[in-house]
Amino acid sequence: MLIKVPPASACHESDVTPQSTYFSRRAVMAGSAALAASAALPAWAASTYDGADPGNVPEWLKAKLGDTHWQAVNVAGEAITPFKDATHYNNFYEFGTDKGDPAQNAGSLKTDPWSVMVDGEVGKPGKYALEDFVKPHQLEERIYRMRCVEAWSMVIPWLGIPLASILKQVEPTSKARYVRFETLQDPTSMPGQRSSFSYIEWPYQEGLRLDEAMHPLTILAVGMYGRELPNQNGAPLRLVVPWKYGFKGIKSIVRISLVAEQPKTTWQGIAPTEYGFFANVNPHVDHPRWTQARERRLPGTLFAPNVRETQMFNGYADEVASLYTGMDLKVNY
Ligand SMILES: Nc1nc2c(c(=O)[nH]1)N[C@H]1C(S)=C(S)[C@@H](COP(=O)(O)O)O[C@H]1N2
Ligand SMILES: [Mo]
């Protein structure tokens, strides 16, 4: 995103049908013909998302999908982005800088076993196995808009757990004011980390203010489209903060630290005048090199790029605007 502004024509998913391919579980249940079809499939088989490869769901996640709180949050009137687009138009620089690189290269990432180090200002620091970390919590399906700072967007049905639930479990101390996240560093499986692409200081790092991290919309995702996370989308654990630009959504997390000072983030380190710590979606604060007033909703075509107005806080202003009362959002971009 530092290097180039993708032209409208960069959106070439013309082979994918843009109409709503989404059927809610309730809608499916309501239709009797569909009911017969869906009843034959186990709950974890992503049966409700057309074209979603069910993946190779690990046993512990399969067990959790049964009591998942489906559609805990929904986006009314906006079609879910087809699975194909959400998994083949990605930013995950550890696997290359082209949008198709992560789908092509992320197969080398070994996501099982996986553990997460929790440290800093917490009562219960430690290295947690992913499944132990996630097991105590109810999974929820959150259907969120995702707006990349590069001015494209999607609607993605995540499966995850409120970050607040996980943070409470590790007991932040009174000194904790921010949360810092780190992606796996493994040049063997991540070709981007061994390339000459050296302006990024690995591992990828992100951060949130503690109140942002505790906000009920903020989740740690372990799946999407009714299945586990594909590697290119940040398996096995990634952050989703729907009112912020996509780069805040750090992938393949191995470390969560509770800290007293605002942590530095990867994109701030690369271009501090272009990518701030807050990175709230804001149509009134342009990127220095392009407008943020509009976005291309994927999929689109060269001739019908599906441009729409960007909404304040990506449409989540009612829920999150109060976090920033009194702050100058032009200064704190
Ligand atoms: N570790 C890591 N996390 C990352 C990135 C990355 O390059 N590396 N890219 C970010 C950006 S810029 C965006 S827009 C989203 C893209 O998520 P998606 O590919 O699942 O749509 O991931 C974010 N998380
Ligand atoms: Mo992004």
Residue that has been written with the tokens 């699975």 in this structure = 83
Q: How far is CA 42 from CA 24, 63, 256, in A?
A: 16, 11, 33
The pTM (predicted TM-score) of the whole model is 0.89
Give the sign of the dihedral formed by CA 9, CA 197, CA 102, CA 182.
negative
Most ligand 1 atoms within 8 A of CB, residue of 247, 267, 270 to mutate:
247
Exposed (0-12), middle (13-18) or buried (19+): which is 49, by Cβ within 10 Å? buried
Ligand 1 atom closest to 204 (CA): 1
Ligand 1 atom closest to 183 (CA): 1
Nearest alpha carbon, ligand 1 atom 12: 247
Comparing 6-10, 90-94, 206-210, 305-309, the range with the smallest average pLDDT is 6-10
Predicted confidence (pLDDT) at residue 248 exceeds the cutoff of 90? yes
Question: Could you say which ligand is closest to the alpha carbon of residue 204?
Answer: 1
Confidence of residue 25 (pLDDT cuts 50, 70, 90): very low
Cα–Cα dist 305/146, whole Å: 17
Confidence of residue 198 (pLDDT cuts 50, 70, 90): low
Annotated binding site for Mo-molybdopterin: 90, 93-94, 148, 183, 233, 238, 249-251
Q: What's the mean pLDDT in 167-181?
A: 98
